[in-house]
Every structure is written in structure tokens, then in C-alpha cells.
Amino acid sequence: MGIVCHCPNGHRVKVKDQQAGKRGLCPTCGAAFRIPQLSRPADAIQPELPLAQLLPLDPAVVATLPRAVPLGTARAAETRVAPQPQAVPNQHEPTEQPVEPIAVEVEPVGEPAAVLELHAAIASRPDLSWRIAYPGGAASEPVDAVTMQEWLAGGQAEGTELVWRADWAAWLPVQEVFPEFFPGA
């Protein structure tokens, strides 16, 4: 049948079964290599992998899960009523159970963002992107001027971060660029 193997440079080589375990030379590049004992047939059947199973989700449970809100959208929360999860009927329990709604706070999606007054360092070039680097961590993805202002105004900055604007040559401490947000520093 023959042994199919590869040389150290990746060239496919087919040799006779009697050559198993011996040293061989690649006819393409001349590299020396040891011929393996067995070869896996090219048409070997792969074992079947188990299929993933989809589980049904109760809409009442899904309604209580937190939602990710993209930066730059309004942060005001609204109250929406979600039905309480129902128990699975059992033969020994009555199947008619009253369902009472519960209140769940949900972040609205797609509402227009509130108008922000930009800091002077941001307002001087609102067309440029910003990046934030946390101590001991990697730099963030580029963010726009509004997102940078929301990050500062939202109190997410601790004061130990470095910031960079697309037209700057070096990173600067956030306290140096935005001293108004860190009065005690």
C-alpha cells in the first residue's frame, strides 16, 4: 500500500512499506528524515463528533437577563413588566397556577443620546479617535469623542490610566489631560 509522510520542509513523500523506520531523502528538496512506521490513509474516516443540542429558553427568564448597551447611547432605564417564570406541570400538582407579573429594569436600545458638553481637550479635535490604557493592561480599541466624554463624565476613570489622541506622539496620564475630573490628585 505504501507509506505517505512529509519531509521536514513539508513536501509530501510516498515510500514503500519496506522503508518504514529507515532514513530517507526527500526527492524534492533532498532533506534527510526518518520514515514513520505507519501511515494514516488519506481516505481515513474521521470519527463522528456529537452534535450540539439546543435548549429551549423560557421567555420570562430571557427578559430578566442583563442587556449590553453600546457606548454612546442613552443610559436612562425604563421599567418593563415581564411574566414570572412558570413551573413545569407535574402529575401531582394542579396545572392552573396564577401568574403575577414582576417589574424588570431594562436599558433602552436605539434611543438618541443626550447632548454632552465636550471637555476642551476633546472639543478641540472631536473628529479624532481616543484610546485608553489601564495600568498593566492593553490599550482599548479606538473610541470617538462622545464615548471618551461619557467615560470621563460617568466616573469610570480612576486616575491611573493613560490616554492617547490620534494626533499625539505619546501617551499622557489622564489626570494631566483632564484635571477637572480628578480634583484630589
Cell reading at 174: 489622564
pLDDT tens string 71-130: 765 554 444 555 555 555 555 555 555 555 555 555 555 555 555 688 888 888 888 899
CATH for 120-181, options being 2.40.30.10, 3.40.720.10, 3.40.50.300, 3.30.1490.40: 3.30.1490.40
Choice between 18 and 104, residue whose per-residue pLDDT is larger: 18
Q: Where are the domains of the chain?
A: 3-34, 120-181
C-alpha–C-alpha distance, residues 5 and 36, integer Å:
7
